[in-house]
Amino acid sequence: MEGAETAETDSDMLNHIMYSTVTFIFGVAVLIKYFRNELRVGVRSIAAMFVLFVGGPMCQFGIGGHNGLAIYVCWCLITYIALPANHIDIDGKAVLITGCDSGLGNALTQYLDERGFQVFAGCLDKERKGAIQLASLCSDKLTLLQLDVTNEEEIQHALQVVQEKLQGQGLWGLVNNAGVFSFMDIELTPMCKYRDLLEVNCLGVVRMVQVFLPLIRQTKGRIVNISSTYGRVPLMGMSAYNISKAGVEIFTDVLRQEMKKWQIKVSVVQPYGFLTACTARDKMETAYQAMMNDLSPQMKQLYGTQYFKMYYREIVQQEGRTLRSTESLSEDSRFLCRCVRDALLSKRPQARYPEGPGARLAMILADHLPDTVLDFSLPYLLPAWARIQPSRL
């Protein structure tokens, strides 16, 4: 009798040791992956914590025995595989980023430079404050490029500089970040504004990919396009911006399919709710004044004084803050930088990186809600200006 009790105690002790060992190995493996890859808490990491603190005890005390241990081991393995993939070594890899004068491009240049990338930073004007600041803050691996993505001569000159610097080594990554913004009614938006946004936000991406693709093919590297959730979510007042970013979305999808034969991985980052230099007060003010100067007296009378006053107060003076969620009124771009870094270095990069509070939800709702519900609800994401009716002007 005592022998049976001793055997049972030994078996329980062995089971406890085995569960503890699996838990320890799994926990350490998850921590190493997150610290090495600079990841952050998300759905998959929460699932890993659930397995550790809930799944383990459930299998040990609920199922028990060898079956419980086997289920727990399988659960840990599946959860670990589902976590974001490990990153490859940077090892002096070269990356070209557009739109580095300010905003995300500026922050991303510093972020990648600190981590050892050789960064080519394309600036609209490399003699201005933003570019000069980069030169002073970054390492000697940084190369500033005079690069307007709508200017064929500057693109070709940038290509020559990159080729000379790389000395035949090839370019690992291209990050198409350059972009401009517009916010006004379709009827009030001049055609030149549509052309400007398409040229920079969409066709600028196409140009850069076509020109630098041979260098990326040498390394079987990465292409990362910075789009926006507004490429998927239609919002009144943003038709020009929506169109240009929707073009980036579909272009990236097609490019990702075509690049598989060259083993080049393509991703799109979709920011939502972040402050950006595109909505700075001076730029919003300039766009507003240009709109007002182009409007005929009849059009001004049709929309009414109150309409434009509210537009100016709630959109221009607030620097577009009403287009962003309350939680994200911060210029901290580290989350977006991490998305780009993962797209550049992950062994299994995601096709899409929605980033910002509610980004995934906004796109899911836009894709699946009935149009009548969508048309009714979306204006409430905007200030009161969006709900003024002509009869009330």
Instruction: List the one residue out of 179, 194, 110 whose CA is nearest residue 149.
Output: 179
- pLDDT in the model for residue 329: 37
- Mind listing the pLDDT tens digit for each residue in 150-163? 999 999 999 999 99
Sign of the Cα pseudo-torsion (105, 106, 107, 111, in order): positive
Cα(91)–Cα(30) distance, rounded to whole angstroms?
24
Percent of the chain with pLDDT over 70: 86
- Mind listing the pLDDT tens digit for each residue in 289-341? 888 888 889 988 898 888 888 888 888 877 555 555 433 434 568 889 999 99
367-392 mean pLDDT: 79
Strands 118-123 and 143-146: what pairing?
Answer: parallel
Specify the higher pLDDT residue, 254 or 302. Answer: 254
Q: What are phi and psi of 215, to 5 degrees?
A: -70, -35
Specify the higher pLDDT residue, 142 or 73. Answer: 142
Q: Which position among 19, 111, 230, 241 bears the catalytic label?
A: 241
pLDDT tops 70 at residue 42 = no
With the CA atoms of 313, 319, 325 and 327 taken in that order, what torsion angle do they form, in degrees rounded to the nearest 10? -110
- Mind listing the pLDDT tens digit for each residue in 209-238? 999 999 999 999 999 999 999 999 998 889
- pLDDT in the model for residue 384: 76
Type and span of the H or E element at 13: helix 2-37
pLDDT tops 90 at residue 244 = yes
Sheet holding 222-226, edge to edge: 143-146, 118-123, 94-97, 173-176, 222-226, 265-271, 352-355
Specify the higher pLDDT residue, 251 or 1. Answer: 251
Lowest pLDDT segment from 173-177, 208-212, 277-281: 277-281
- pLDDT in the model for residue 136: 93
* Range ranked top by mean pLDDT from 192-206, 274-288, 294-308: 192-206
Sign of the Cα pseudo-torsion (257, 258, 261, 267, in order): negative
Q: Which amino acid is at 63?
A: I
Q: Which amino acid is at 142?
A: L
Active site residue 111: no
67-91 mean pLDDT: 81
Instruction: List the one residue out of 245, 275, 257, 266 whose CA is nearest residue 344.
Output: 266
- Mind listing the pLDDT tens digit for each residue in 137-151? 999 999 999 999 999
Within 13 Å, how many C-alpha atoms sit on residue 350's CB side? 15
Cα(107)–Cα(174) distance, rounded to whole angstroms?
16
Average pLDDT over the chain, rounded to an integer: 85
The DSSP output letter for 313 is I
- pLDDT in the model for residue 10: 57
Type and span of the H or E element at 265: strand 265-271
Sign of the Cα pseudo-torsion (92, 147, 289, 191, in order): negative
Confidence class of residue 36 from pLDDT cuts 50, 70 and 90?
low
Sign of the Cα pseudo-torsion (88, 90, 92, 95, in order): positive
Cα(358)–Cα(273) distance, rounded to whole angstroms?
9
Specify the higher pLDDT residue, 354 or 328. Answer: 354
96-100 mean pLDDT: 97
> pTM, whole model, 2 decimals?
0.83
- pLDDT in the model for residue 326: 38
The DSSP output letter for 189 is S
pLDDT tops 80 at residue 249 = yes
Q: DSSP string covering 49-109, please?
A: HHIIIIIHHIIIIII-HHHHHHHHHHHHHHHHHHSPPPBPP-TT-EEEES--SSHHHHHHH
- pLDDT in the model for residue 147: 97
- pLDDT in the model for residue 94: 98
User: Which CA distances in Å does 63 have to 4, 11, 56, 70, 77?
Assistant: 21, 15, 10, 10, 18
Lowest pLDDT segment from 23-37, 196-210, 298-312: 23-37
CA 106 to chain centre: 15
- pLDDT in the model for residue 321: 58
